[in-house]
């Protein structure tokens, strides 16, 4: 099972953003959901982190506001392999 969701990070912890989760068994749908959240203007600030997991293991992560070379950066056109 793939899960895609946005986490809001704050001092003292983090929390999933309600309504931001997509769950699917399809890798194609998982990638499409990740791309949709990646482009969503609601999350375009550094306190948000976009995660794609498979069976509770991180497969992709993108921190909004990150730059190339940073740990949680994924380029807009970067291929995501699942």
Domain boundaries, the chain: 2-63
Q: What span, in angstroms and rounded, lies between the C-alpha atoms of 21 and 8? A: 13
Chain centre to alpha carbon of residue 28: 15
Q: pLDDT confidence of 11, banded at 50, 70, 90?
A: confident
DSSP state for residue 17 in the 8-state scheme: P
Q: What span, in angstroms and rounded, lies between the C-alpha atoms of 58 and 60? A: 6
Q: Is the pLDDT of residue 12 over 90?
A: no
Mean pLDDT to the nearest integer, 64-81: 93
pLDDT tens digits, one per residue of 25-72: 999 999 999 999 999 999 999 999 999 999 999 999 999 999 999 999
- Residue 53's pLDDT is 98
């Amino acid at each position: 099972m793939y899960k895609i969701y946005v986490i809001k990070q704050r001092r003292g912890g983090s929390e999933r953003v309600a309504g931001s989760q997509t769950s699917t068994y399809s890798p194609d749908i998982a990638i499409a959901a990740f791309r949709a959240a990646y482009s969503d203007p609601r999350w375009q600030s550094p306190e948000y982190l976009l995660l794609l997991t498979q069976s509770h293991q991180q497969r992709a992560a993108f921190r909004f506001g990150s730059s190339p070379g940073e740990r949680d950066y994924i380029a807009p056109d970067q291929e995501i392999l699942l």
